[in-house]
Amino acid sequence: MSNEAVMDITQIMKHLPHRYPFLLVDRVLELVPNERIVALKNITMNEPQFPGHFPLHPVMPGVLMIEALAQTAGLLAFKSAEIPVNENTVIYFVGIDGARFKRPVVPGDQLRMEASILRVSRGIWKFAAKATVDGLLACEAELMCTLKQLD
């Protein structure tokens, strides 16, 4: 499979309100509305967490891997819901179940994030999500979010 983008960073930024240093999705490789998404996050040493998170052995914090997965799932929700995307549309991360961390993620790694919709009920989206590096599982969780229109 090629790494050709289905969504590039400009399109991602139109859907997610996050900006540096908290935008954690670099590219979307696959997106099937109402089903699944595959996205990438390139891990680089110049990210702001590394000087303080094990400076002599930099490791991506698990909570940031989960946040990257939540942003990936959010992109799938936006594309599946077919609602207008503007500055008044936000997605909130509302829950996490069964988070497991299987290996460290370090600068130079490329995090491949996958999320699939488990169900949508009363405005809450539930996803099965996992992140891998070089085909090896780094973390997994079930994530929940909701889309909201701000006034």
Kindly report whether the global pTM for this prediction surpasses the value 0.75.
Answer: yes
- If one counts the domains in the chain, the total is 1
**Residue 89 pLDDT more than 70?**
yes
Q: Which of 15, 18, 53, 57 is catalytic?
A: 53
> Side chain identity at 33, as an amino acid letter?
P
Any domain includes 2: no
Distance CA 67, CA 125 (A): 15
* Residue 1 included in any domain: no
Element (H, E) at 30: strand 27-32
Each residue's pLDDT tens digit, 65-82: 999 999 999 999 999 997
* pLDDT (0 to 100) of residue 86: 82
Active-site residue 15, yes or no?
no
pLDDT at residue 111, as a whole number: 98
CA distance 70 to 80: 15
- The CATH number assigned to the domain holding 124 equals 3.10.129.10
**1: pLDDT strictly greater than 60:** no
Q: What are the b/e assignments for 11-44, b being 16+ CB within 10 Å?
A: ebeebbeeeeeebbbbbbbebeeeeebbbbbebe
Task: Give CA 129 to chain center in angstroms.
Answer: 9
pLDDT in tens, 43-56: 999 999 999 999 89
Domain that holds residue 48: 9-149
